[in-house]
Amino acid sequence: MILRFQLSFHAFQKGAFLRGSALLRFHAYQRPKLLSLEVLTNRGIRMKRITLWAFALAALAACQSKKEDIPPTLAGLIEEVRLAYAPDKRVAIFQVDAEAEGGQWLLTTETNLPEALQALEEGIKSAGLPARIQARLLPDSSLEGNIYGVVQLSACNIRSEPRHSAELATQAMLGAPLRVYRKSDGWYLVQTPDGYLGWLDDGGFTLMDEAGFARWKSAQKAVYLPDMGFAYAAPSPGAAVVSDLLAGNILEWQDGADGYARVAFPDGRTAYIPESALMRYDAWLASRQPDASHIIQTAYTFMGRPYLWGGTSGKGVDCSGFTKTAFFLNGLQLPRDASQQVHVGQPVETDTTLANLQAGDLLFFGRKATDEAPQKITHVAIYLGDGKIIHASGSVKVESMRRGDPTFTEYRLQSFVCARRMLSGIGENGVIPVAEALSYQ
Catalytic residues: 319, 379, 391
Q: How many helices (H) and strands (E) does the chain have?
A: 10, 32
DSSP-derived secondary structure letter, 392: E
Distance of CA 43 to the CA centre of its chain: 32
Burial 280-305 (b: 16+ CB within 10 A, else e): ebeebbeebebebebbbebbeebeeb
Classified as helix, coil or strand, 97 is strand
* Residue from 31, 35, 45 nearest 12 by CA: 35
Between CA 340 and CA 187 the distance in angstroms is 26
* Residue from 415, 361, 416, 417 nearest 390 by CA: 361
Between CA 324 and CA 340 the distance in angstroms is 11
- Is residue 50 within 8 A of residue 36, CB to CB? The reply is yes
> How many CA atoms lie less than 13 Å away from 157 in the CB half-sphere?
15
Q: Dihedral sign for Cα 282, 286, 291, 294, please.
A: negative
- Is residue 297 within 8 A of residue 399, CB to CB? The reply is no
Query: What is the crossing angle of helices 114-127 and 72-85, to 10°?
Result: 150
